[in-house]
Amino acid sequence: MRAILSGVHPKKGKQSLELELIDVPFAVENLAMIFMEKNALTSLCIPIHRRVRNNMVRLTIDAQKFTFEQPGQSEFSWEMYFTFNVEDQHYLLQVESEYVSDRHQLTLDSYFQFNSDAQDHALFDIHTQQTRTDFAINSINLTQDGLTVTGYSSINGEPLVNQTLFLENHATQTVYQYSDTTDLLRGIFSITVPVDNLTENGPFNVYIEYDFGQQHVRQRVILARPLAGQRVSQVQSGGQVVRISKTFNNGIAVETVPPVPLSAKVAAVGRKAGRVKNVVHRLNQKVNTRYMKWLFKKGHRPFDATTIIFESFGGRQVSDSPLAIYQMFKKLYPGFRFIWSVERETVPYCKANDIPYIVRRTTMWVRTMEKAQYWISNARFPAWVKKPKYLTYVQTWHGTPLKKLGLDIENVTMPGTNTAAYHRNFVQEANRWDALISPNDYSTQIFRSAFGFKNQILKVGYPRNDELINSTADDITAIKQKLNIPLDKKVVMYAPTYRDNQFAEKGKYTFELPFSLDDFQQRFGEDTVLILRMHYLISNALDVSAYGDFVYDLSSYPNISELYLVSDLLITDYSSVFFDYAYLQRPILFYPYDYHLYKDELRGFYLDYEKDLPGKIAQNEPDLLNGVAEYLQQPDMSNDPKFQKFYERFCAINDGLASLKVVNYVVHQIETQH
| CATH number assigned to the domain covering 2-127 | 2.60.40.10
Determine the Cα angle at 307 with ends 301 and 309, to 5°: 105
Same fold, 296-460+660-668 and 466-650: yes
270 Cβ contact list (under 8 Å, min separation 6): none
| One-letter amino acid for residue 518 of the chain | D
Beta strands in 430-562 (DSSP E): 435-438, 456-459, 490-494, 503-505, 508-509, 528-532, 551-553
**What pLDDT, on the 0 to 100 scale, is given for residue 409?**
80
Question: Would the pLDDT of 509 be above 50?
Answer: no
pLDDT above 60: residue 502? no
Is residue 580 within 8 Å of residue 462, measured between CB atoms? yes
Domain 466-650: which topology? Answer: Rossmann fold (3.40.50)
Give which of 401, 396, 398 is closest to 612, Cα–Cα.
401
In degrees and rounded to multiples of 5, residue 323 shows phi and psi of: -70, -40
Cα(206)–Cα(150) distance, integer angstroms: 13
* Total number of residues shown for the chain: 674
pLDDT tens-digit readout, 479-500: 999 999 999 999 999 998 866 5
CA pair distance 102, 451, nearest whole angstrom: 32
**Residue 239 falls in which region: left (phi positive, over 0), alpha (psi -120 to 50) or beta:** left
Mean pLDDT of 114-128: 86
Per DSSP, the residues of 166-202 read EEEETTTTEEEEE--EEEEETTEEEEEE--TT--S--
pLDDT over 70 at 329, yes or no = yes
As a whole number of angstroms, the distance between CA 17 and CA 23 comes to: 20
| pLDDT at residue number 539 | 42
Calculate the CA 576 to chain-centre distance: 11
pLDDT at residue 408, as a whole number: 85
Q: Is the predicted pLDDT of residue 674 greater than 80, yes or no? A: no
User: Do residues 576 and 627 touch, judged by C-beta distance below 8 A?
Assistant: no
565: three-class secondary structure by DSSP: helix
Q: How far apart are CA 319 and CA 324, in angstroms?
A: 8
C-alpha R_g of the chain: 29
b (16+ CB within 10 A) / e for 319-351: bbbbbbbbebbeeeeeebebbbbbbeebeebbe
Nearest by Cα to 467 from 658, 245, 201, 283: 658
Give the closest residue to 661 by CA, choosing from 444, 435, 460: 460
Tens-place pLDDT, residues 579-606: 999 999 999 999 988 777 666 654 578 8
pLDDT exceeds 70 at position 477: yes
pLDDT at 531 (0 to 100): 96
Contact present, 140 and 149 (Cβ < 8 Å): yes
**Domain extents in the chain:** 2-127, 134-257, 296-460+660-668, 466-650
CA neighbor of 97 nearest in space, from 84, 112, 115: 115
Number of helices (H), then strands (E), belonging to the chain: the values are 15, 39
pLDDT tens for each residue of 517-543: 999 999 999 999 999 998 755 544 577
CA distance 570 to 564: 8
Angle at 404 between CA 399 and CA 407, to 5 degrees: 110
Quote the CA–CA distance of 401 and 423 in Å, as a whole number. Answer: 17
**Average confidence (pLDDT) over 305-312:** 96
Whole-model pTM? 0.72
Which stretch of 5-9, 195-199, 203-207, 383-387 has the lowest confidence by average pLDDT? 195-199
For residue 557, the one-letter residue type is Y
Distances, alpha carbon 124 to alpha carbons 31, 78, 399, 442, in Å: 19, 5, 32, 29
Q: Mean pLDDT over all residues of the chain?
A: 86
**pLDDT per residue as tens digits for the range 213-269:** 999 999 999 988 777 667 888 887 777 888 888 887 888 989 888 765 655 555 555
Nearest to 534 by CA among 587, 588, 490, 498: 498
Top-tier CATH class for 134-257: mainly beta
Q: Provide the greatest CA pair distance for the chain.
A: 84
Q: Which fold does the domain 296-460+660-668 belong to in CATH?
A: Rossmann fold (3.40.50)
Label each residue of 421-454 as H, E or C.
HHHHHHHHHHCCCCEEEECCHHHHHHHHHHHCCC
